[in-house]
């Protein structure tokens, strides 16, 4: 027997080093000479189990036990295999047999605890782990398992003590440090959590779980670029790590990198097609990409897999509310709240539906009862925004403004987390202000007016956000001779092409040749074909309010284009922007404080005045207040400006808006309502709050004749 034991030593060394293919032939050679040798059979079972050959492993363990049933280790190994196969009662029987042979086996008690825990028998499992640690006080795995058990029971302090004890008896126990990090993160002690994860990684730099958890921590803190790096490191170490793909996709989505987000989320689904969280995350990305039907399908797939998945239920309800499918949204809210009355998102959507139904008091009572503790900052911000809108409806401007300020603070934090620098947009305005003069325009290399674009020129609907542009766009889209592009990135993409081919704006405008202008016009038309492929022979209205600063580029490309300038009282515009939650980008990053919004308004309107004075623009000014007071008269004048015949269908804009699957602006819920006057001169109720910026706004009110 001693000779066989000596012969097995190299196989054991190979196994411990993970060299399974070197261990296997040694075991086979020994078993060829000694087919019933229990140690060789047991070792061969371990090799096959580690190789993933579980059926073969089971046969070897059974043979080892048949050859010598008195060795507890054989029964423990058989139990481990049965546990891996998911047969927890059979695993329990194996461990109990080992303990019958050796009642003081710490491994037997520890592994029996694991089998009991997997069967939900937590008190018995705890007793087993404690017994294992009592027998062997330096048994770090028993303390670790106690920590896992306590964490499962939300006994967080006990779990922390157990993980710490595991690290005391085994300072190199990277898994214990990693789990301690997850525990500290749940407790909100993020610095301690980061320290634990980093300690685990110092011990084991190739530990994908620790890199993944560190990514989760950075995502929670809003350090999204840092989170991306950690998820990518985890995936380098473990390419089939489905959770890392899913959370990396979620982070990319928050960064606005939607194609990257979708790619990783679909990979997560390929790896775990039955994981509802993966489908839910994909739905979020598709929603943010504007693919409403596909997003809805993803949420419904998540709910098909898990009807009680409250996050998917809330996201679906939110999507339906934004799409103005109010009955369907209400049904999802009711179903979700039946499962969880406290869910913040479902209560938020319920409050929005109540507000839209005129049930303001009910909506307020609902949201005031939602606890904001431990809510992510973006979700808390959404609740504050809705509370602000509700208090505005009840005539309480002070409380409305307080909540709206908190909402904007949360949005500003999310914008910073995305790495968006508002100064980039201000730098663009600096360049335009410094360069745009009559002398500079006269120096342009090509006379745009002498080289008009071929074909029907677009109409550009510009202004400052919240000036009534969405109402105008939906109304004009109802005319059979018009089709509208609702805030599609046509001008952004043309500007990018301009930078790639001719240099930075605005200097590049002066150098454009006739050929370059032609290529840029053709590119614009290609984009229009992409965003409105079935429009037919109609005039295109390209609505993007802040394209007002890009008017020189638009006129350079289309000197015969018409411009619609949407105007509204400056104080109402600034206040309304403060009341909204815009999709973060370099422009909208300047919309999170009254001071920033007023400054941006001042600069945009100054540029518009300069453009009007310098360029021969064909434009029509339309005031929001006049549209509200005389809708038909104002729209008739606008249609006449566009050289189109009057059509009564424009008066039915609500029906047109209701048909859309999504309206991509904060006004989505307003354009499906009849014309209302509650937002006209709303600013007068907020004079105290607007006082710091009224000097700037009163200047523009005088200029515009208010």
CATH of the domain at 513: 3.40.50.300
Give per-residue burial for 251-289: e unless 16+ CB within 10 Å, then b.
bbbbbebbebbbbbbebbbebbeebbbbbbbbbbbbbbe
Residue 662 has pLDDT above 50, yes or no: no
CA nearest to 369, candidates 398, 343, 397 = 343
Mapping DSSP to helix (H, G, I), strand (E, B) and coil, where does residue 540 land?
strand
The answer to whether the beta carbons of residues 26 and 10 sit under 8 Å apart is yes
Average pLDDT score, the chain:
91
Mapping DSSP to helix (H, G, I), strand (E, B) and coil, where does residue 409 land?
helix
Q: What sign does the dihedral 123-127-130-136 (CA atoms) show?
A: negative
At 679 the pLDDT is 59
Residue 663 has pLDDT above 50, yes or no: no
Quote the Cα angle for 498-503-506, to 5°.
80
Comparison of pLDDT for 449 and 149, the residue scoring more: 149
Residue 373 pLDDT class (50, 70, 90 cuts): confident
At 672 the pLDDT is 46
CATH of the domain at 227: 1.25.40.10
Structural domain count of the chain = 3
Q: Which of 367, 396, 417 is the last residue of a domain?
A: 417
At 91 the pLDDT is 95
The answer to whether the beta carbons of residues 642 and 458 sit under 8 Å apart is no
Does residue 345 lie within any of the structural domains?
A: yes
- Please list, in sequence order, all residues whose beta carbon lies within 8 angstroms of the beta carbon of residue 24, skipping any fewer than 6 positions away: 44, 47, 51
At 1 the pLDDT is 46
At 681 the pLDDT is 82
Q: Are residues 628 and 643 in the same domain?
A: yes
Mean pLDDT across the stretch 446-463?
73
Q: Are residues 369 and 266 in the same domain?
A: no
By mean pLDDT, which of 195-204, 274-283, 662-671, 685-694 is the weakest? 662-671
CA nearest to 458, candidates 385, 378, 539, 393 = 539
Q: How far is it, in rounded angstroms, from Cα 21 to Cα 18?
A: 9
Does residue 81 lie within any of the structural domains?
A: no
At 458 the pLDDT is 94
Q: How far is it, in rounded angstroms, from Cα 118 to Cα 322?
A: 43
Tell me the pLDDT tens digit for each residue of 578-635. Answer: 999 998 899 999 999 999 999 999 999 999 999 999 999 999 999 999 999 999 999 9
At 620 the pLDDT is 97
Residue 280 pLDDT class (50, 70, 90 cuts): very high
- Please list, in sequence order, all residues whose beta carbon lies within 8 angstroms of the beta carbon of residue 103, skipping any fewer than 6 positions away: none
Tell me the pLDDT tens digit for each residue of 161-171. Answer: 999 999 999 99
Does residue 171 lie within any of the structural domains?
A: no
DSSP 486: E
Residue 446 has pLDDT above 90, yes or no: no
At 2 the pLDDT is 57
- Please list, in sequence order, all residues whose beta carbon lies within 8 angstroms of the beta carbon of residue 428, skipping any fewer than 6 positions away: 505, 549
Residue 383 pLDDT class (50, 70, 90 cuts): very high
Residue 667 pLDDT class (50, 70, 90 cuts): very low
Mean pLDDT across the stretch 189-211?
97
Residue 449 has pLDDT above 60, yes or no: no
Q: Are residues 492 and 466 in the same domain?
A: yes
CA nearest to 693, candidates 570, 527, 580 = 570
Q: Are residues 545 and 649 in the same domain?
A: yes
The answer to whether the beta carbons of residues 314 and 349 sit under 8 Å apart is yes
Does residue 175 lie within any of the structural domains?
A: no
Does residue 463 lie within any of the structural domains?
A: yes
Q: Are residues 690 and 657 in the same domain?
A: yes
- Residue 341 is part of which domain span? 321-417
Q: Are residues 232 and 353 in the same domain?
A: no
Residue 673 has pLDDT above 70, yes or no: no
Edge-to-edge strand order for the sheet containing 482-486?
482-486, 539-543, 459-463, 562-567, 618-623
Q: Are residues 346 and 220 in the same domain?
A: no
At 669 the pLDDT is 47
Q: What Cα–Cα distance (Å) separates residue 465 from each residue in 406, 530, 630?
A: 21, 25, 22
pLDDT over 90 for what percent of the chain?
A: 78
Q: Which of 393, 417, 441 is the last residue of a domain?
A: 417
Does residue 330 lie within any of the structural domains?
A: yes
Q: Are residues 568 and 613 in the same domain?
A: yes
At 452 the pLDDT is 56
Q: Are residues 448 and 384 in the same domain?
A: no
Q: How far is it, in rounded angstroms, from Cα 198 to Cα 210?
A: 8
Q: Are residues 450 and 359 in the same domain?
A: no
Q: Which of 241, 268, 286 is the last residue of a domain?
A: 286
By mean pLDDT, which of 79-83, 531-535, 642-646 is the weakest? 531-535
At 678 the pLDDT is 53
Q: How far is it, in rounded angstroms, from Cα 556 to Cα 615?
A: 10
Does residue 1 lie within any of the structural domains?
A: no
Q: How far is it, in rounded angstroms, from Cα 656 to Cα 652?
A: 7
Q: Are residues 624 and 563 in the same domain?
A: yes
Mean pLDDT across the stretch 237-253?
97
Does residue 193 lie within any of the structural domains?
A: no
At 668 the pLDDT is 45
Q: Are residues 413 and 478 in the same domain?
A: no
At 447 the pLDDT is 56
pTM of the model: 0.79
């Amino acid at each position: 027997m001693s000779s066989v034991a000596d012969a097995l030593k190299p196989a054991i060394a190979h196994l411990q080093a993970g060299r399974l293919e070197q261990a296997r032939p040694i075991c086979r050679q020994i078993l060829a000479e000694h087919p019933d040798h229990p140690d060789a059979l047991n070792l061969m079972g371990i090799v096959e189990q580690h190789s993933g050959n579980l059926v073969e492993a089971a046969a070897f363990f059974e043979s080892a036990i048949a050859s010598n049933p008195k060795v507890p280790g054989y029964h423990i190994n058989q139990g481990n295999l049965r546990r891996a196969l998911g047969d927890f009662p059979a695993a329990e029987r194996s461990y109990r047999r080992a303990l019958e042979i050796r009642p003081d086996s710490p491994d037997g008690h520890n592994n029996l605890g694991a089998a009991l825990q997997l069967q939900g028998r937590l008190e018995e499992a705890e007793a087993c782990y404690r017994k294992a640690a009592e027998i062997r006080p330096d048994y770090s795995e028993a303390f670790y398992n106690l920590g896992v058990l306590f964490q499962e029971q939300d006994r967080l302090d006990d779990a922390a003590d157990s993980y710490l004890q595991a690290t005391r008896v085994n300072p190199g126990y990277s898994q214990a440090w990693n789990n301690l990090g997850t525990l500290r993160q749940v407790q909100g002690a993020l610095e301690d959590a980061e320290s634990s994860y980093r300690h685990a990684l110092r011990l084991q730099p190739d530990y994908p779980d620790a890199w993944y958890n560190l990514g989760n921590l950075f995502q929670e803190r809003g350090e999204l670029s840092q989170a991306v790096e950690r998820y990518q490191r985890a995936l380098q170490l473990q390419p089939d790590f489905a959770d890392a793909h899913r959370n990396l996709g979620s982070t990319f989505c928050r960064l606005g990198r939607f194609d990257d987000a979708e790619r990783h989320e679909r990979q997560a689904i390929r790896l775990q097609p039955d994981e509802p969280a993966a489908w839910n995350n994909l739905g979020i990305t598709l929603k943010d990409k504007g693919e409403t039907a596909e997003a809805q399908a993803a949420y419904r797939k998540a709910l098909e897999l898990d009807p009680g998945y409250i996050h998917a239920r809330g996201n679906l309800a939110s999507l339906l509310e934004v799409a103005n499918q109010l009955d369907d949204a209400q049904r999802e809210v009711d179903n979700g709240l039946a499962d969880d009355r406290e869910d913040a998102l479902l209560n938020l959507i319920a409050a929005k539906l109540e507000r839209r139904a005129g049930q303001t008091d009910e909506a307020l009572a609902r949201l005031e009862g939602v606890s904001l503790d431990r809510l992510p900052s973006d979700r808390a911000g959404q609740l504050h925004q809705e509370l602000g809108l509700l208090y505005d409806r009840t005539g309480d401007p002070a409380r409305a403004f307080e909540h709206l300020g908190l909402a904007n603070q949360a949005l500003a934090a999310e914008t910073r987390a995305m790495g968006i620098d508002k100064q980039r947009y201000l730098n663009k305005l600096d360049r335009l202000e410094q360069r745009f003069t009559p002398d500079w325009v006269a120096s342009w290399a090509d006379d745009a007016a002498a080289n008009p674009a071929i074909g029907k020129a677009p109409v550009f609907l510009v202004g400052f956000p919240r000036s009534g542009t969405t109402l105008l766009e939906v109304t004009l889209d109802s005319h059979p001779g018009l089709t509208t592009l609702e805030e599609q990135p046509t001008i952004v993409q043309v500007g990018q092409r301009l930078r790639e081919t001719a240099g930075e704006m605005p200097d590049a405008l002066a150098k454009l040749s006739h050929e370059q202008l032609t290529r840029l016009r053709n590119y614009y038309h290609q984009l229009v074909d992409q965003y409105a492929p079935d429009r037919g022979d109609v005039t295109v209205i390209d609505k993007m309010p802040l394209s007002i600063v890009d008017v020189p580029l638009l006129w350079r490309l289309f000197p015969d284009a018409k411009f619609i300038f949407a105007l509204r009282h400056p104080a109402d515009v600034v206040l309304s922007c403060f009341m909204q939650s815009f999709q973060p980008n370099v422009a909208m990053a300047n919309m999170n404080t009254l001071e920033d919004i007023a400054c941006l308004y001042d600069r945009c309107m100054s540029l518009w005045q300069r453009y009007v004075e310098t360029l021969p623009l064909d434009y029509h000014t339309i005031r929001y207040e006049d549209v509200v007071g005389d809708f038909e008269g104002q729209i008739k004048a606008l249609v006449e400006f566009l050289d189109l015949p009057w059509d009564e269908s424009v008066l039915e804009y609500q029906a047109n808006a209701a048909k859309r699957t999504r309206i991509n602006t904060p006004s989505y819920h307003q354009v499906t309502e009849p014309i209302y006057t509650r937002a006209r001169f709303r600013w007068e109720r907020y004079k105290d709050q607007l006082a710091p910026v009224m000097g700037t706004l009163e200047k523009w009110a005088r200029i515009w004749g208010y």
